[in-house]
RNA sequence: GUGAGCGUAGUUCAAACGGUUAGAGCACUGGACUGUGGAUCCAGGGGUUGGGGGUUCGAAUCCCCUCGCUCACCCCA
């Protein structure tokens, strides 16, 4: 019988790598705490409709990447491919637009997209994200970018670059899209097959295309760029944002071709990229989504946020940190030599556990030699030995692995010494 | 969805033109050392060579199919 393996594009996160995850989670929580963004945990699956309407019917995510399935009640459900639409759903569902219109939330957890796995891309992957809903101000865009930047900085990630763009609002985007569509029609066969369809259905996405023919079109002098079509308010919004970023000393560049693959973005769009991950170079991305609420059937509600790929951050982190250095070392190795030793040491375990002191308890009738070797391998400096000899004396043996010194003592004395030893660490 | 590369013990790798019983290091377990340490020596467990089919007297090796992994396209976190 063949072994069952994990499904394609998924994996176990275990061993020393888990300490890198803890590190990322810790930094995210600390920044969230500092900026007072509250955690929200939405379901792993939602109505398919939520993503179809929120993310956009003609996006790649909705058209070919969703894990969609009917449940036994005939509902169409989808494993969440991203976190923003569910959060806006929660905001509206709880009536926050009425009772508490301004919220700052963060989230962390698995997302699912049906894609061919490659470096930095999995079918189940993890994101954390920050969302500020109810704030139309450019300063709030800046806070979101600042948070993304700060998390990266606190993790020690280097060689990151920030690109921003402005996709316009309902007022100016329509005119731009119309102009763009007219222009693309004139280009006809100069576009790749894919972009001919995009020109009709989702013309902004043409700017993303890397096909050589399309690149030529996109970079031709006559090609209309969003930046040249921004209305007064959008222009101002972007100027304000850029001014704040400069004052914050966050360096960025304007990428007029940055459009991003989700429909809900308006005005600010941004991406943080790295040069160290191969083809999947976006570490974090986000922007403003003032149309999302309406798309979900709610009233107009402004929002801005970002999501970051945890696997990608961890890949970068793994190059800087030795994960084992992040592990909290056990202080004590409890070495039973027989059943009586196990009993005696389990009492110690209860004592240590009550005080949240880390220890490792072995079981069985292993020899002293085995225990000392293992303690050494685990890098634990103090070994407590218990066997029949100790039981007869009513004592336990304390051994210091560095000095080699060992002392037999009564339980009460040993407990006191354990506490004293903990203080040193 | 498309393309390329790769699948041999837990792991890293061997096995000349197809050749008889698929080996080694590391790791693990035990012993030398009957209750005291990263060394040394000895021994042991582990494999349907990813799976299936074909060619052949004979396949880890050649052919086909399939599955998986990796990277890239696509797209994104």
Report ipTM (2 d.p.).
Answer: 0.88
Which sequence spans correspond to the domains of chain A? 17-169+231-318, 329-424
Q: Is the CB of A95 under 7 A from strand B?
A: no
Q: Looking at residues A40-62, what average pLDDT do you find? A: 94
Q: What is the pLDDT of residues A171-199, one digit of tens each?
A: 888 889 889 988 988 887 788 877 888 88
> pLDDT exceeding 70 applies to what percent of chain A?
100
**3-class DSSP state of A188:** helix
Return the HEC string of A146-164. Answer: HHHHHHHHHCCCCCEEEEE
Which structure tokens are listed for A33?
């705490």
Mean pLDDT (chain A) is 92
Asked whether the predicted pLDDT for residue A73 surpasses 60, the reply is yes
pLDDT band at residue A203, thresholds of 50, 70 and 90? confident
Nucleotides of B under 7 A from a protein CB: 1-3, 28, 30-31, 33-38, 50-51, 68-77
Q: How high is the pLDDT of residue A65?
A: 94
Asked whether the predicted pLDDT for residue A1 surpasses 60, the reply is no
Q: How high is the pLDDT of residue A229?
A: 93
Asked whether the predicted pLDDT for residue A376 surpasses 80, the reply is yes
Q: How high is the pLDDT of residue A419?
A: 94
**Closest CA-bearing residue to C1' of B75:** A60
Q: How high is the pLDDT of residue A372?
A: 93
Using a 7 Å CB cutoff, list residues 58-77 of A near strand B.
59-61, 65
Encode A68-97: b = buried (16+ Cβ within 10 Å), e = exposed. beeeeeeeebbbbbbbbbbbbbbbbeeebb
Please provide the CATH number assigned to the domain covering A329-424. Answer: 3.40.50.800
d(C-alpha A121, C-alpha A402), whole Å: 45
Instruction: Calculate the angstrom distance between C1' of B58 and CA of A8.
Output: 37
State the architecture of A17-169+231-318 in CATH terms.
Answer: 2-Layer Sandwich (3.30)
Q: Is A17-169+231-318's fold the same as A329-424's?
A: no
d(C-alpha A32, C-alpha A37), whole Å: 5
Q: How high is the pLDDT of residue A184?
A: 87
Q: How high is the pLDDT of residue A293?
A: 96
Q: What is the pLDDT of residues A354-365, one digit of tens each?
A: 999 999 999 988
Q: Looking at residues A212-221, what average pLDDT do you find? A: 84
Asked whether the predicted pLDDT for residue A112 surpasses 70, the reply is yes
């Amino acid at each position: 019988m063949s072994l069952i393996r994990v499904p394609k594009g998924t994996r176990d996160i275990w061993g020393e790598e888990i300490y890198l995850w803890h590190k990322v989670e810790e930094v995210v929580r600390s920044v969230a705490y500092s900026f007072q963004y509250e955690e929200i945990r939405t379901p792993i699956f939602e109505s398919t409709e939520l993503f179809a309407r929120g993310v956009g019917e003609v996006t790649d995510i909705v058209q070919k990447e969703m894990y969609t399935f009917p449940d036994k009640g005939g509902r169409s459900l989808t494993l969440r491919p991203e976190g923003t639409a569910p959060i806006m759903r929660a905001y509206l569902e709880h009536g926050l637009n009425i009772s508490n219109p301004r919220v700052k939330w963060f989230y962390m957890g698995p997302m699912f997209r049906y894609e061919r796995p490659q470096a930095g891309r999995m079918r189940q992957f993890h994101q954390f994200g920050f969302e500020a809903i109810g704030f139309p101000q450019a300063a709030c865009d800046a806070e979101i970018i600042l948070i993304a930047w700060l998390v990266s900085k606190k993790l020690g990630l280097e060689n990151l670059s920030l690109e921003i763009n402005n996709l316009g609002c309902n007022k100016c985007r329509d005119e731009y899209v119309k102009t763009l569509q007219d222009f693309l029609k004139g280009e006809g066969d100069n576009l790749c097959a894919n972009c001919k369809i995009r020109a009709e259905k989702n013309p902004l996405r043409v700017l993303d295309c890397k096909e050589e023919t399309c690149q030529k079109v996109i970079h031709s002098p006559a090609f209309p760029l969003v930046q040249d079509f921004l209305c007064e308010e959008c222009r101002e919004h972007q100027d304000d944002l850029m001014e704040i970023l400069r004052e914050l000393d966050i360096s960025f560049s304007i990428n007029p071709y940055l459009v991003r693959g989700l429909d809900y973005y308006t005005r600010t769009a941004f991406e943080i990229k790295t040069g160290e991950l191969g083809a999947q170079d976006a570490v974090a991305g986000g922007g403003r989504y003032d149309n999302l609420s309406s798309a979900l059937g709610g009233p107009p509600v402004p929002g801005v946020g970002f999501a970051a790929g945890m696997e990608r951050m961890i890949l970068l982190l793994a190059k800087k940190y030795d994960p084992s250095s992040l592990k909290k070392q056990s202080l004590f190795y409890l070495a039973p030599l027989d059943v009586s030793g196990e009993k005696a040491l389990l009492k110690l375990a209860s004592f240590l556990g009550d005080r949240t002191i880390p220890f490792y308890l072995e079981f069985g009738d292993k020899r002293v030699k085995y225990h000392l070797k293992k303690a050494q391998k685990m890098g634990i400096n103090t070994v407590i030995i218990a066997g029949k000899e100790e039981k007869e004396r009513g004592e336990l043996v304390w051994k210091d692995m560095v000095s080699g010194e060992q002392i037999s003592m009564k339980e009460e004395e040993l407990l006191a010494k354990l506490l004293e030893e903990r203080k040193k660490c």
